[in-house]
Structure 1
């Protein structure tokens, strides 16, 4: 007597319902998946969720109309099977019984908790993954509309791959086959891509995985429902095939979430989408429908539903009057405008003369909008700063065990912050990179291919060193500061200007013009330093060289002799450099004595409070 290779599998109905039982078979269904049998007297949920695929819904309605599923006498309020029913796949069986979309390879389990997928030959089992497979332009044909959707499958050309390649083959074995079979017909880089794509299709994909494809500006989503099949197709466009249960409708590409668009923009025939699987799972469903879907799976109530978690809105909080008071900004509306510019463009530059508080404001604003300093990283540019310092590059590192030094690929501050921002659980939290003295570096050299990503946030690029496909996370914001006194801002090219919003901080306009007075008032000090600064800036013709208030907002200025000392050692040297070679008497024009004489109120200075 032959031994059944498959044990009995069980599936728990939603809301703590009873268990249904069934068996996997080796018989192939109409789309190439293995059929699954549910015997008589098995419980069936009476309700269905709105997202149940039409094909499963129609089958369920047919089984009920034929009396093969009927009201249950064993479980009041539920239905039950009246006879043995053979389904095309475990997922189809689970969908009919639970009334919702169902990954049967995971939800059907043995008595000791092992999923059905563990018993399938040749496949690599583990957590389910999501994939993009391109089929809209396979040697000039759109196979998605022509074959994939009508016939319920996904294919890969593999036009020269020999017959008899086994499912579950290792990457090294695939590499050897590609090297031999495509020896003179593909370039080195084409062979590298082929190895990755063939290995994914043959050995990493498995029944129950999500598969996506794009055609006619729409994204189509399905579930792989069987093992790989190798055929000799006449046109060599579909030599490798897998059965797929496609959803009924596609989704408009331009309406997809940005992080999904980023992954879909990667230019390979097979791309893993597992990092955005929760986003894919939630397409076309409301929060209530997602909650109903989750009920159809035995789920720990303390565990968050991934598709709902992925929908957490990214938000930049509205600046408050308290923040404006802390930063001594004249109007909260000015802060709100800066916040709106960041929200719209995601990159912003604060520019102005020295001492206008650009870096301080950038840090404080980022900490407020990001919810704390943990989401803020600061880097300072300088003339020798390069892409390898900023993003990634090879740097010498010592091996802690052998003490040998070797060059290893090392992430820079932007890559580190981008990786942190894109982690699951962090994607709804704003992260900020502050770039101080942005205009002191060679920006084209530092940003490299990242220039493109600053403008096209929904795209990805292939990185120079690691070869990874990379996109800037939607929740990563960049605030740069530029000093106008050194004139290097004039060298910033049009490409960079187009990618950033620019906000001026100047002693001639608010919030900078009245900042020192507001600070002196908050510290209960006399107004003379502010009057002197106003008089000084009135004598400086070039607005880019006017002096910012931060030089006079330090405790040392208000100790005995502190104002004179600061003026002599901090402010006058800046003006001497500005007027170098012009023969101007700096002390006579900008010195404290000359400025005090020009003040209309009194020849005597206002008292300065001691620290």
Structure 2
């Protein structure tokens, strides 16, 4: 193996392949000493040595070496930094939404994808990140989030040997500052996805970030090594926000002034039906136990009744609810109808259980008392309209939630 930087060739790699497969440190050396992109392509794309030593996820020493190499193409960098990523390539959101989001990212503004549950916000955020950048990190908000989770701050650090430990402090990077560091260290465009930000106090967690957006020279945080972290034009910030029970008008004005707000709401009827047809065909097309045409009509009737009201239930809309939930129903049925120990002998019951497992709990999660009444009534009506399927289990789940709410209110009879 050559020890001279820049002299390591593909021929060297082929000759030493057994060693490279056995010793990960030798792969790092080969990447660092490579004399061109063909060496990296052979090591990573053809031989998959990063995956061989580091598995399908994470950015270990081999991948770090590739990301730092002047010979690595942006495409190869994307390959190593997104190993194990299962984001689907097919973009399902409406064309207008896609164009607005892509345009907003090009302006350099942070983007918020907002809309009701089940509209594909998180998947689309990852697709945007992969299209616009080389890599991304995904962080899901919690109620305990503070500005430290976004920008960073001081955290505890234990030092010393076993038995003699002392408590010190160190700088810890937050989601955005860590993204800036990656973009700098690897010289790549990088995306930071902040998912479900309405779970946290938005005005609290974004306070320092607002200041940095207004003044790009503002230091977000300084590392223990004295490196200052500022917002970088190579870093894209993409947020998702569940607006099932809120409107944009209820948000802090600070975020709507500084972020591009892109709504994912209802899909056109034809687009939504295409989604439903595709999932039914993909997961149930070769399983002849259900009437797939009637299942499609059930999906349509359920979605329509939830979002716009239905004649069967004689009520108005229940809530805004996206179509992506029905993919989970199709996947559930795919598994349930191929195993005799599950629902292979009871396909009609399987449909009701799929709705009970994936649709009704998601409706109840954000439903107020009157909406719970509507949900039960809606599924009782569907159970009568679609006699082929047993939807009683879905209605019963809503009924139990309704009774629990009535007991809590002191009105249960």
If the TM-score is normalised by the length of the shorter chain, which range does it land in? 0.5 to 0.7
1:552 aligns with 2:312: no
1:408 aligns with 2:408: no
Greater RCO (CA < 8 Å, at least 6 residues apart)? 2
> Equivalent residue for 2:144?
384
SS in structure 2 at match of 1:407: strand
- Supply the distance in 2 between the matched residues of 1:388 and 1:399 (Cα, whole angstroms): 22
- Supply the distance in 2 between the matched residues of 1:355 and 1:325 (Cα, whole angstroms): 16
1:504 aligns with 2:291: no
Shift of 1:483: 0.7
1:594 aligns with 2:381: yes
Unpaired segments ≥5 residues, structure 1: 1-302, 305-311, 313-323, 606-611
Give the alignment of 1:368-447 within 5 angstroms.
368-371=131-134, 375-399=135-159, 401=161, 402-423=164-185, 426=187, 429-447=188-206
Q: Please, which of 348, 351, 372 is the counterpart of residue 111 of structure 2? A: 348
C-alpha distance 529-406 of structure 1, shift in aligned 2 (>3 A)? farther
Shift of 1:334: 5.3
Alignment deviations for residues 46-73 of structure 1 (CA, whole Å, 9 cap, x no partner): xxxxxxxxxxxxxxxxxxxxxxxxxxxx
> Equivalent residue for 2:354?
566
- Supply the distance in 1 between the matched residues of 2:144 and 2:123 (Cα, whole angstroms): 24
Alignment RMSD, CA only?
3.8
Shift of 1:354: 1.4
- Supply the distance in 2 between the matched residues of 1:505 and 1:585 (Cα, whole angstroms): 27
1:537 aligns with 2:303: yes
- Supply the distance in 2 between the matched residues of 1:351 and 1:377 (Cα, whole angstroms): 19
Shift of 1:568: 1.9
Shift of 1:431: 0.7
- Supply the distance in 1 between the matched residues of 2:118 and 2:373 (Cα, whole angstroms): 23
C-alpha distance 383-576 of structure 1, shift in aligned 2 (>3 A)? closer
SS in structure 1 at match of 2:169: strand
Give the alignment of 1:93-242 within 5 angstroms.
none
Alignment deviations for residues 271-315 of structure 1 (CA, whole Å, 9 cap, x no partner): xxxxxxxxxxxxxxxxxxxxxxxxxxxxxxxx98xxxxxxx9xxx
C-alpha distance 331-435 of structure 1, shift in aligned 2 (>3 A)? closer
Shift of 1:487: 2.4
Shift of 1:514: 4.4
Shift of 1:569: 3.5
Shift of 1:578: 5.2
Shift of 1:544: 8.8
SS in structure 2 at match of 1:485: coil
Shift of 1:384: 1.4
Q: Please, which of 206, 227, 230 is the counterpart of residue 471 of structure 1? A: 230
SS in structure 2 at match of 1:506: coil
User: Which structure shows the bigger proportion of residues in strand conformation?
Assistant: 1
Contact in 2 for aligned 1:418/1:473 (Cα 8 Å) = yes
- Supply the distance in 2 between the matched residues of 1:514 and 1:441 (Cα, whole angstroms): 35
Contact in 2 for aligned 1:484/1:544 (Cα 8 Å) = no
Give the alignment of 1:285-324 within 5 angstroms.
none
- Supply the distance in 2 between the matched residues of 1:438 and 1:383 (Cα, whole angstroms): 9
Alignment deviations for residues 566-602 of structure 1 (CA, whole Å, 9 cap, x no partner): 31233224444555433864565221x6226447xxx
Shift of 1:433: 0.6
Contact in 2 for aligned 1:438/1:481 (Cα 8 Å) = yes
- Supply the distance in 1 between the matched residues of 2:171 and 2:365 (Cα, whole angstroms): 42
C-alpha distance 329-488 of structure 1, shift in aligned 2 (>3 A)? closer
Alignment deviations for residues 432-484 of structure 1 (CA, whole Å, 9 cap, x no partner): 1111111222223212322133345xx31144776975421111111111111
Shift of 1:357: 1.7
User: Which structure shows the bigger proportion of residues in helix conformation?
Assistant: 2
Contact in 2 for aligned 1:366/1:376 (Cα 8 Å) = yes
Shift of 1:339: 1.7
SS in structure 1 at match of 2:244: helix
Contact in 1 for aligned 2:94/2:267 (Cα 8 Å) = no
> Equivalent residue for 1:358?
121
Alignment deviations for residues 137-186 of structure 1 (CA, whole Å, 9 cap, x no partner): xxxxxxxxxxxxxxxxxxxxxxxxxxxxxxxxxxxxxxxxxxxxxxxxxx
- Supply the distance in 2 between the matched residues of 1:583 and 1:477 (Cα, whole angstroms): 38
- Supply the distance in 1 between the matched residues of 2:247 and 2:95 (Cα, whole angstroms): 31
- Supply the distance in 1 between the matched residues of 2:273 and 2:259 (Cα, whole angstroms): 24
Alignment deviations for residues 373-400 of structure 1 (CA, whole Å, 9 cap, x no partner): xx21011112210112222111112115
Greater Rg, structure 1 or structure 2? 1
